[in-house]
Chain A
Amino acid sequence: MKILVCISKTPDTTSKIAFTDGNTKFDETGVQWIINPYDEWYSLVRAIELKEKDASVTIHLVTVGGPDCDPVIRKALALGGDEAIRVNADNTDSYFIAAQIAEVAKKGAYDLIFTGKEAIDYNGSSIGGMVAELVDAPYISLATLFELNGTTATITREIEGGEEVAEVSLPVVVSCQKGVAEQRIPNMRGIMAARTKPLQVVEPIAVEALTSVVSFELPPAKAGVKLVDADNVAELVRLLHEEAKAI
């Protein structure tokens, strides 16, 4: 049983978002880098739980990025992956990234591929579906529960206005969100072990990027809050009705 967990490096959730070079580059000054929370808390931890139940499970991590991703990959290994593969390429195009991951996935013949539901920087929600297409496997998106029984996965996923339970035979690609697992903190033993776990760096396959970021923009600042006195709630209702036209 082999699981591939896709890992993305993202700025910490409290990072100040700013841009440099004429608004074409994310300003990395003072930014703390973390494992994308959806990749870490939900998909990686669920993979680790599956391994804890069944020692024959192997967990490989994959990321697409430069050497600056290594600390984040080591942290993921400290939580519990067995080995990691970094595809040495910097690109924001989701098809380019998915093609690299699909290449790793095909070579490793994985039974299960986990991604987070999206990365908190680009919010693409694209990689899982693309990888599934490129390896021709079923794709279950936005999973909130994941159970495995032999080679059959039972997955609860979010749909509009509720959820549905899907049964599917492996191999399958799953994007994970809240509910699938709970956040864990790496322990000292894991951190020590991670130092010697294999981190293989491979060069990207030739793929043409289909998109590129031209520029970034920050939203216009809010005009400022209009405060209404607590004794004059009727005024708030009037403003919401007449000015904001929200009720």
Chain B
Amino acid sequence: MSVLIFVDQTENHIKKGAYEALTYGVQVAKQLGTTAEALVLGTVNDDLASLGKYGVTKVHQVANETLNHVDAQLYAKVIAEAVTASGANVVVFSHNQTGKAVAARVAARLKAGVVTGACALPDTSNGFVVRKTVFSGKAFANVSIHSAIKVISLNPNSYQTVAGEGTAEVVALNVAVDASKVKITAVNKVSGEVPLTEADIVVSGGRGLKGPENWGVLLDLAKELHAATACSRPVGDAHWRPHHEHVGQTGVQVAPNLYIALGISGAIQHLAGVNRSKVIVVINKDPEAPFFKAADYGIVGDLFEVVPKLTEEIRKMKASA
């Protein structure tokens, strides 16, 4: 019996979200009175023994280059074998792009119950009940897992990373890896910008900006905050901004520490994409904009006047810090 945490990598480096999953998995292990171990697939340049800082005693690695790309079919086989080999009865993933491709598939292979989008530690006082977000963040469901092996994928930015001291034992796991049936022909990373789903701060614009030529004020603010940029659906549909910036129910769902909405009225479909943000700031000239009801802080005013001032004040604050 142990907890196995899948540690996700991209381009030979461990992803930020993996540390949250590690901290969470270690806590689950403590709750169950057992140990936590990590699993890394592919070749990585980071020091894996240092994952011990998060409380795992052992790091299993399948250092096969085929696994540097995520092929859900191969990953499911290899991870399921690692679960069996390590004797884990709880498996933890991050609910990011890789987790969405792999966690449920691993669960099906192991005939294990899965809760994706988990947002709290399991309640083990009576069975094994995991809380997850449902209805696009508008509610929570407490879901009981009945199977012997339990699979959880953790919502990004829902668990605080805690690092201490410690070194983990790194062990090579010998698992046969088939040839991939999926050929990756191109990888296009957005360079120079902060990826939207990983950003701590997101600055988002709506129709209130009146046209793509006015985006400068928003971009200046985003740059000052090292924030990712996003937009509302009408803005994406009008091609004022690339559609991958569209945040909302049918676009990207984000959960940053800070979401700043400029000139967005806050339709319910937009809120569904941002309501897991920790702090929401709304700047809109319409005091009746529904977004103010979902906001923590707000300014009723003309964004073209307010936003440059805001950028300037943030610059001043940083300079004095």
Contact = CB atoms under 8 A, between A and B. Distances in A.
A124 B139 contact: no
A175 B104 CA distance: 13
A167 B183 contact: yes
Contacts of B299: 227-230, 233, 236
Interface in A205-220: 209-219
Given A95-B113, A120-B135, A162-B190, A139 B296 contact: no
B104 A129 contact: yes
B111 A162 contact: no
Interface in A110-162: 117-118, 120-130, 132-134, 136-142, 144, 154, 158-162
B103 A129 contact: yes
B145 A210 contact: yes
A219 B117 contact: no
A175 B240 CA distance: 27
B313 A233 contact: yes
A95 B111 contact: yes
Interface string B180-208: 01111111111000010110010000000
A46 B136 CA distance: 24
Select the residue from A19, A130, A216, A233 with max chain B CB neighbours within 10 A: A233
Contacts of A98: 104, 108
The bracket for how many chain A residues form the interface is 35 or more
B100 A219 contact: no
A227 B134 contact: no
Interface stretch (B81-89, B168-176, B250-258): B250-258
A37 interface: yes
B49 interface: no
B97 interface: yes
B187 A244 contact: no
Contact of B97 (A94, A142, A234): A142
B310 A94 contact: no
B297 A178 contact: no
B30 interface: no
Given A13-B269, A219-B140, A240-B281, A138 B314 contact: no
A210 B250 contact: no
A136 B269 CA distance: 36
Interface in B263-318: 268-269, 272, 275, 278-279, 281-282, 292-302, 305-306, 309-310, 313-314, 317
Nearest to B194: A161
B189 A161 contact: yes
B295 A129 contact: no
Interface string A78-100: 00000000000000011100100
Contact of B139 (A129, A216, A227, A228): A216
Contacts of A225: 282, 292-293, 295-298
Interface string A1-21: 000000000010110010100
Task: Tell me whether chain A's interface is mostly helix, strand or loop, or mixed.
Answer: mixed
A55 interface: no
Nearest to B246: A178
Interface string A22-47: 00000000000000011001000000
B104 A124 contact: yes
Contacts, number: 272
Interface in B206-258: 225, 243-244, 246, 249-251, 257-258
A226 B182 CA distance: 51
Contact of A211 (B73, B114, B275, B306): B114
Contact of A164 (B186, B251, B317): B186
Given A160-B197, A164-B188, A120 B249 contact: yes
A76 B187 CA distance: 34
A95 B257 contact: no
B257 A129 contact: no
B294 A222 contact: yes
Contacts of A163: 187-188
B263 to A, nearest CB: 14
A98 B101 CA distance: 15
Contact of A234 (B184, B201, B293, B313): B313
A124 to B, nearest CB: 5
B133 interface: yes
B296 A138 contact: no
Interface string B146-188: 1100000000000000000000000000000000011111111
Nearest to A230: B301
A166 B182 contact: yes
A141 B72 contact: yes
Top-7 shortest CB links A-B: A230-B301, A210-B113, A126-B104, A161-B195, A129-B105, A162-B189, A246-B258
Interface of B: 10, 15, 69-73, 76, 95-98, 100-105, 107-109, 111-117, 129, 131-147, 181-190, 195, 197-198, 201, 225, 243-244, 246, 249-251, 257-258, 268-269, 272, 275, 278-279, 281-282, 292-302, 305-306, 309-310, 313-314, 317
Interface of A: 11, 13-14, 17, 19, 37-38, 41, 93-95, 98, 117-118, 120-130, 132-134, 136-142, 144, 154, 158-169, 175, 178-179, 209-219, 222-223, 225-230, 233-234, 236-241, 244, 246-247
